[in-house]
Structure 1
Amino acid sequence: MAGEKTAKAKAWALFDRIVERAAPGGEHTNPWSRSADGKRAYQPDYDTLCQLLGVPLWLKANTQSGVPALALDVWLSYELRRAGFGADQTWPRPQHPRILPASVANLLEALPKKDAAAIRELIKKEGAITGVTSASAKILGKNYLKQVDVIITDWSTGPELLISTKRMDSSFGKNAPNRVEESYGDAKNLRLRHPQAALGFVFGLSASALVEEPGTAEWLFDLLAKLGQEDDAYHATGLVLMEYSGAAVVDDGEEGEDGIPEEPGVEPQDDVVPAADGDVEKTIARLPKVKIRLDATPEELNPGRFLAAMVDRVLSATPVTMHKAARKRRAEPAQL
């Protein structure tokens, strides 16, 4: 466990710097664009995604460390902030603690600066404060608790967006059926309790599957697309098809799961990021190169299409008085 925590801590130091560089001063680019024929589209920041995906390769982190899948979670949360959702609304947050309830964030904003500073320092230093902060969140579905990787929620609204991610880098024929089956069950579990939430699933797949097991890849693409088309499953599904310039992630089974908490909600976990070893900027410059194979990604699984569907679902399910920044960004796309 110590090794896993160390790998995650090192990864967070790199993830945070990559995201900070992509949004200097917290200013995010607008992902929405409009073509000459008037069609609006979501343009993901693939450059930032490729850098994030290079982190687990640099650290040689295996799947059970949780770092490879975490790269997808960090990117999706970053994209939601590009879409106009607040830094404290989208979890994981771009700094420790990764999960901070909106009520706590609002309290910090309302307190006098001196009092707020003392509480912020406490939150910053503590690995996790039980029932207040955490590194991960579990949501109660119809029948069981499910760890959700990317989330927007508040006590006054309930979950508004729930995205689960999975990643597969090798042993495709062996691992694919189990991961898709689990994802289907998770969709039913969450959808039945939270029908108004935007429910999505993103699958990260090594592009080597196209060569090593093309039949499995074709089968997997078909199932992923169907998962996003059923009325009682996900509202949308996405595929991140990754091509590496060097050695791939060691896929040694499912990502490590923490124990089920006694109560639903956040689960305490130490995610304090220590000072990074060496020069973070130099490390980022040396990260292994990753390419996103959009040319081989089915259109119905395109990440831009997925993100657009998630944002549209959240905005359509809430009053116009909510998420004003996200609505403004969507209404003012850049002209291509």
Structure 2
Amino acid sequence: MKIKQTTLIILLLLFAISNSFSQDVNESEKIKLLINKFNDTDSWINGEAINKLAEIGEPAIDELLISLQDKNENVRWCSAIALEKISPLGKQSIPFLIKALKYDNANVRWCSALALGKYKSDANLAIPDLQKLLYDEDYDVRWAAYISLSKIDKNSLNISYEISDVIKKLEYLTPQLMNELSVPGVSISIIQKNKIAFSKSFGVADANTEIQVDDKTMFEACSMSKPVFAYIVLQLVQEGKLDLDKPLYNYMPEKFVSEDEDYPKQITARMILTHTSGLPNWRKGGEERENPLPIYFKPGTKFHYSGEGFYYLQRVVERITNQTLQ
């Protein structure tokens, strides 16, 4: 009887081991089949496979690390996406993701950088390569590098450079950024210790005539003058001539269009300086025709960039000082 019981136990153990081995083999094959779908040109099929691998999680990592090094660019990209979704599981991914930061494909660099950030301080070895990506030619990669460094070690963002290194970065990045943002021309100067340390012009002043930008080219200041104006406003506050939280209606009533007739009486200098006044960026049709000026929402409740708000505050400042800002 004892022999039969022992035999039965052994058979059950063998069955359990065999069943477990079969499941492991099945899962391994499933992972490989899913990764093989990265070769498909249909991005929907790629995405479905990525999500299924993410559901499998850590057991899929080793095969994904192999496919991350595949010759096929799409396979590498899909592998990087899957690894980003699975991270921070599987710390063995870290050295492979660091290597992927140097790949030619910006999408792979982007996903790899984001994945490394999720490992936080465990990905300290990635810091030097991520710092280099802060100056990558791709905007999303630069952003991902910044986000990841802030998660791994915020102090790694405090990078001090020699002026010569800064100039090299500027000369390298400026043409790329101009192309990325469709900027025809720009002039850059660096002032160090009250002296011009660097000055260079890029591109054209007029896209039609292709006249080159030089050190005499005039640019519109536009919104770059807003911080200067804000400084003037705060000086008036310091002198007791203006209250940041007193409705501007008390200084200079204006006619606005709003759902609540009290909204125009609620706008303050603080709201305008923080772009929460409810006023539009610019009124429809411009200032010249004196078109109706709306207040879109209750002042102080939302952010909405507003040039009109600054123009209103400018008129208030001009009345207080009895001087024009023009």
Q: Which structure: greater strand fraction?
A: 1
TM over 0.5: same fold? Answer: no
TM-score between the two structures when normalised by the length of structure 1: 0.22
Could you say which structure has the greater relative contact order, defined with CA pairs below 8 angstroms and 6 or more residues apart?
1
Q: Which structure: greater helix fraction?
A: 2
